[in-house]
């Protein structure tokens, strides 16, 4: 064995040592795709993060389900579990497992994000998900589940609205296109609506260019929180999409600094930073604006970088599949999903 082989073997050993033994056997390298969703399908509703108990919120979720002519199945612990706003970890994991095991359920929709999804990760049996692939949708705090499921089950999941999202016409159209069609999603770009003399939904090219790769990403705060764990994001050769809400520029800087120091930014094939709502607050500890922070970290990268797509915490919101092939054209503000998301 030469020095290079010894080094590779050593690095592999260090990598595996960071992953709990029970998870090593669950690591999947084969991509698994769910079946396309159809009208009349049974859809499981779960709350893996903050619980939802208000009848008005349940009513809002049912309005979404009815709009798409689906049949709802509310998880057992969503309304009847212990606690007030936070069900126990065991109850939330049980609901997740049961929905994947239920043969009648064809898709799983998260009713909201909030806080707490990461608490479930080391309790999930990913083999259950691998053996029962189905559509799984959510965003924000649900990012923790997406990254873990992608890594340890291989399932293609969907970063998209939760049931309490606004579901504007734009959001509803993209949701249907992503989940109810066996064709590739195709081009994703902001609406060309004009507000006075300027675009209502502008984008900004930070680094021009075109690149391709599998999609990964999600909420920046959750991605940052999982660094150094078995569930941290893998970005090499991928198009990384990021989103957040209500974070001051210095906090965005802190999280991007962490990803930069970990090599996660430079290894990506391209980066899309979604419109960050309420992320430009005046702070007494930092005088950079959000876009100055983004330029500081992203403008020197040798990959295409785009800011402003409607990903995440915006009323108009796209649905994006994980781990399928896409092309980013940062000059034109277009993310083109070219691979089919379903088997």
44 is written with which tokens?
């499981």
CB 107 within 8 A of CB 43: yes
CA neighbor of 139 nearest in space, from 147, 131, 128? 147
313 is a catalytic site residue: yes
List all residues 6 or more positions away from 61 whose beta carbon is below 8 Å from its beta carbon: 45, 52, 72, 109, 111, 163, 164
Distance in angstroms (rounded) separating the CA atoms of residues 94 and 25: 21
Distance in angstroms (rounded) separating the CA atoms of residues 275 and 278: 9
140 is a catalytic site residue: yes
Q: Which of 165, 297, 313, 330 is catalytic?
A: 313
Which SS3 state, helix, strand or coil, does residue 196 take? coil
Q: Which of 91, 232, 243, 247 is catalytic?
A: 243
Distance in angstroms (rounded) separating the CA atoms of residues 240 and 179: 21
Burial class (CB in 10 A: 0-12, 13-18, 19+), 196: exposed
67 is a catalytic site residue: no
The count of C-alpha atoms lying within 13 angstroms of the C-alpha of 120, restricted to the half-sphere facing its C-beta, is 31
Which SS3 state, helix, strand or coil, does residue 213 take? strand
Q: Which of 140, 224, 225, 330 is catalytic?
A: 140
Annotated catalytic sites, by residue? 140, 243, 313
């Amino acid at each position: 064995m030469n020095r290079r082989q010894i080094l590779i073997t050593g690095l592999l050993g260090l990598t595996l040592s960071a992953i709990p033994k029970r998870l090593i056997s669950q690591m999947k390298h084969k991509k698994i795709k769910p079946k396309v969703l159809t009208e009349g399908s049974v859809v499981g509703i779960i709350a893996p993060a903050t619980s939802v108990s208000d009848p008005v919120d349940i009513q809002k979720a049912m309005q979404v389900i009815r709009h798409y002519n689906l049949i709802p199945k509310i998880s057992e612990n969503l309304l009847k579990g212990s606690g007030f706003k936070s069900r126990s970890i065991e109850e939330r994991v049980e609901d997740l497992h049961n929905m994947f095991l239920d043969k009648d359920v064809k898709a799983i929709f998260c009713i909201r994000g909030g806080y707490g999804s990461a608490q479930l990760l080391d309790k999930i049996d990913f083999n259950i998900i691998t053996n029962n692939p189905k559509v799984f949708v959510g965003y924000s705090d649900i990012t923790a589940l997406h990254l873990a499921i992608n890594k340890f089950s291989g399932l293609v999941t969907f970063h998209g609205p939760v049931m309490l999202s606004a579901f504007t016409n734009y959001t509803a159209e993209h949701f249907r296109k992503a989940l109810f069609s066996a064709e590739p999603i195709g081009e994703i770009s902001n609406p060309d609506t004009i507000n006075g003399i300027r675009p209502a939904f502008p984008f900004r090219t930070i680094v021009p260019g075109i690149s391709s790769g599998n999609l990964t990403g999600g909420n920046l705060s959750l991605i940052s929180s999982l660094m150094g764990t078995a569930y941290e994001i893998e970005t090499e050769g991928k198009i990384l999409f990021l989103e957040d809400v209500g974070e001051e520029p210095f906090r965005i800087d802190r999280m991007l600094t962490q990803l930069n120091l970990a090599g996660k930014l430079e290894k990506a094939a391209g980066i899309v930073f979604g419109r960050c709502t309420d992320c430009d607050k005046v702070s007494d500890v930092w005088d950079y604006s959000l876009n100055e922070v983004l330029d500081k970290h992203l403008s020197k990268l040798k990959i295409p970088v785009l800011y402003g797509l409607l990903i995440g915490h915006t009323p108009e919101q796209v649905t994006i599949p994980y781990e399928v092939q896409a092309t980013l054209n940062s000059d034109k503000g277009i993310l083109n999903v070219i691979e089919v998301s379903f088997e």
